Amino acid sequence: MARPDPHSHTDLAQPHQQHLAWKAEVDFAGRTLRATATLRFDRGGSAVDLDGRGLVIESVTSPDGRPLPFELGPTEPILGERLRITLPPGVDTCVIRYRTGPEASALQWLEPAQTGGGTAPFLYSQCQAIHARSVVPLQDTPRLRITYEAELTVPAGLRGLMAAAAVDREVRGDRAVERYRMDEPIPPYLFAFAVGELQARDLGPRSRVWAEPSVVERAAHEFAGVDRMLTSAEALFGPYPWGRFDLLVLPPSFPYGGMENPRLTFLTPTLLTGDRSLVNVVAHELSHSWTGNLVSNATAEDFWLNEGFTVFAERRILEVLEGPEMVALHAAVGRQALDEAVANFRDRPQLTRLRTRLQDVDPDDAFSQVPYEKGYLFLRALEEAAGRGAFDRFLRRYMDTFRFQSITTEELLDLVRAELPGALEAVDAPRWIDGEGVPAGAPVARSGRLERVEELKTQLPPPEARDWSPWEWQVYLNRLPRPSPAEVMTALDDRFHLTEAPNPEVLVAWLTVAIRSGHAPAVRRAETLLGEVGRMKYLKPLYAALIAGPGTRSLAEASAQRYRKRYHVIAAAGVESLLRKGA
């Protein structure tokens, strides 16, 4: 047995998947996909263990229709079910007819009332890290990439989009069949689609933005700069490897800021502030086109390879577009988030390592800012040790060497050893990779704008702070003591109207300190906000603040109860776990 991924039944001694032909019919009324997955492997003549979660398997046959032996194992916590199929000698392909379960963890089915338009239902997938198996039976490990072709059948009034190249759309009565193909091999967690009332606006020769009609104009305005971003990224990392870079703005319950689905990045509508102040999230997802999608983590234990490199790349793009001062502010906010994540993991310090051990740990529970911001700081330390020119050449080498592969931390370290001799020793790499917390002497962001904010400490900001960027406000607010005196909260709110902040990052940074300080307007604003957004980055700190704040715990409980159905299952689980812990 060769099972290299603690989150998959994949046995590398068995045949390896290569290509998927997927046909799925979307049934909104039954909240199910009726589907056929035709999986081709590199060989036959062997049993092969696939991953599934909640799938109802109707038949497994060879391409010519002969039944193939299969066995669906018991449901295991975290992993789901093993689907063992026996491929006869000479048969390298199996055809699986199945339905998805009502609770498919990758899918969110939205009622019309949960969308912007209010008239049509909406469906989207979110497969990272280990939810693809609830939509398609396959070897659900990033180690084994697949190409695919797909036919998605949707109600004719809706669009079905996939993170792949569009082939055509054919209307058949009240249904439409949308065909796609993905010719570049992807890890299964990048399989993605969405169905809804969707319209597009072109943003440039290689990009358009998709969204519901009620937000598509705002979205086109917010992301108008995407082509310049793409060109800047190519200057840094080489030609864009995926053809198109389209964006899809999802309904508010999307639990992440963004998801780097290839050719079609998924985004939260909370980015639509009107002032383009959150486009770093687009720079981040674009960067994954190289770090993550081209070079992928071999398992969730090496997740920092995806996210640490991507935060590094995101800030290099930002440096070109917005300058080093802005990068310093972003990095400072990142460092604050890292320190908070490390503090939150005081009971599980193993999860503050870059290279983690996740046997019996759900990747959704291990998720934190550690792989992002500690990974970023480790790469900054290497960059300082090697010098920027040498480190830039190394990054290109990294992307060339591991193109369309999925790698472990060890493989990265071997490449650094070969290409940047002495660099690992110079930064004491083992402390970063396998040590807990943040090493002393980690790179620190410096800039004049940052210093002016930090010098204020807990004093009220001067009137000029009206012109602060959202990042200066976050640095300032995150440094305030919790609780802070009620008069300070009132004075801040009177002068800067923070309870009405249009930028959600500033708003949440403000509300978390103001709630803990008993500032009543903040509690009321949080109460409505919890019903408006589903992004976990905002829900979790807001719930944590209400749980810890003076007299607001019962409001946290009531809100969780009231809004649970609006949240994505992953977000709802995160909120539940905060309430259980009581922290």
Nearer to Zn ion, 297 or 310 (CB): 310
Catalytic residue positions, numbered: 285, 372
Which entry of Zn ion, ligand BES, none binds 129, CB below 5 to 8 A by partner kind?
ligand BES
- Which string of b and e fits 173-182 if b means at least 16 CB within 10 Å? eeebbbbbeb
Minimum CB–partner distance for residue 254 and ligand BES (Å) = 9
Tell me the closest approach of the beta carbon of residue 312 to Zn ion, in angstroms. 11
432 binds, among Zn ion, ligand BES, none (CB under 5 to 8 A by kind): none
128 binds, among ligand BES, Zn ion, none (CB under 5 to 8 A by kind): ligand BES
The span of 67-75, 258-266, 478-486, 541-549 binding ligand BES (CB under 6 A) equals: 258-266
Nearer to Zn ion, 307 or 472 (CB): 307
What is the spatial distance between Cα 255 and Cα 571, in angstroms, rounded to a whole number? 6
Q: How far is the CB of 578 from ligand BES (least distance, A)?
A: 17
Which is nearer to Zn ion, 14 or 126 (by Cβ)?
A: 126
Closest CA relative to residue 19, chosen from 58, 56, 63: 63
# chain residues binding ligand BES, by CB under 6 A: 16
Q: What does the DSSP assignment read for 364-408?
A: HHH-SSIIIIIHHHHHHHHHHHH-HHHHHHHHHHHHHHTTTEEE-
**What is the C-alpha separation between 137 and 244, in angstroms, rounded?**
28
Question: Is residue 307 involved in binding ligand BES (CB under 6 A)?
Answer: yes
Question: Nearer to ligand BES by C-beta: 61 or 299?
Answer: 299
Cβ closest to ligand BES, residue 44 vs residue 257 = 257
In angstroms, the Cα distances linking 120 to 115, 195, 197 are: 8, 10, 6
Per-residue contact string for residues 338-377; x = within reach of ligand BES by CB under 6 A: -----------------------------x----x-----
The SS3 call for residue 230 is helix
Q: Give min distance, CB of 337 to ligand BES, in A.
A: 10
Which of ligand BES, Zn ion, none sits in contact with 258, Cβ below 5 to 8 A by type?
Answer: ligand BES
Binding segment (CB under 6 A) for ligand BES, from list 40-48, 279-287, 500-508, 525-533: 279-287
**Residue 561's CB: how many other CB atoms inside 10 A?**
10
Using Cβ positions, the residue closest to ligand BES within the complex turns out to be 257
Q: Which residues of 298-330 are buried (b: 16+ CB within 10 A; e: fewer)?
A: bbbbbbbbbbbbbbbbbbbbbbbbbeebbbbbb
- Residue 568 within binding range of ligand BES, rule CB under 6 A: no
Choose which of 80, 116, 142, 257 interacts with ligand BES (CB under 6 A). Answer: 257
Residue 422 is encoded by which pair of tokens? 């002495």
Cβ 367 to ligand BES, closest distance in Å?
A: 6
Helical residues (DSSP H) of 182-279, grouped into ranges: 213-222, 226-237
User: Is there binding between residue 222 and ligand BES (CB under 6 A)?
Assistant: no
Tell me the C-alpha distance between 342 and 323, whole Å. Answer: 29
Pick from 260, 301, 302, 505 the residue near ligand BES by CB under 6 A: 260
> Judged by CB under 6 A, does residue 549 bind ligand BES?
no
367 binds, among ligand BES, Zn ion, none (CB under 5 to 8 A by kind): ligand BES
Q: Are 207 and 225 in contact (CB under 8 A)?
A: no
CA distance 252 to 66: 45
281 binds ligand BES (CB under 6 A): yes
Q: Which is nearer to ligand BES, 186 or 427 (CB)?
A: 186
Q: Among Zn ion, ligand BES, none, what does residue 51 contact (CB within 5–8 Å per kind)?
A: none
Compute the distance between CA of residue 45 and CA of residue 271 in angstroms, rounded to an integer: 50
The answer to whether residue 223 forms part of the interface with ligand BES (CB under 6 A) is: no
128 binds ligand BES (CB under 6 A): yes
CA distance 193 to 202: 20
Please, which residue, 14 or 310, has the CB nearer to Zn ion?
310
Beta-bridged to residue 168, according to DSSP, are 179
Q: Peptide bond before 483: cis, by omega within 30 degrees of 0?
A: yes
CB nearer to ligand BES: give 368 or 499: 368
Both tokens of 96, joined, read 């699986």
Q: Which listed residue (26, 259, 298, 361) binds ligand BES by CB under 6 A?
A: 259
Q: Scan for tokens 């770090």, then name that residue.
A: 291
Phi, psi of 404 (to 5 degrees): 55, 30
78 binds ligand BES (CB under 6 A): no
Residue 67 DSSP symbol: B
Site for Zn ion in 294-323 (CB under 5 A): 307, 310
- Shortest reach from residue 322's CB to ligand BES, in Å: 14
What is the largest distance, in Å, between two alpha-carbon atoms of the chain?
78
| Of the residues 116, 142, 196, 258, which one makes contact with ligand BES according to CB under 6 A | 258
How far is 576 from 547, CA to CA, in rounded Å?
12
Shortest distance in whole angstroms from residue 376 CB to ligand BES: 10
Q: Which is nearer to ligand BES, 92 or 307 (CB)?
A: 307
Q: Which pairs count as long-range contacts for 77-81, CB under 8 Å and 24+ apart, including other chains?
A: 78/7, 78/130, 78/360, 78/361, 78/362, 79/7, 79/8, 79/9, 79/51, 79/130, 80/51, 80/52, 80/53, 80/54, 80/133, 80/134, 81/51, 81/52, 81/53, 81/54, 81/55
Contacts with Zn ion, residue ranges (CB under 5 A):
307, 310
Contacts with ligand BES, residue ranges (CB under 6 A):
128-129, 256-260, 280-281, 284-285, 288, 307, 367, 372, 537
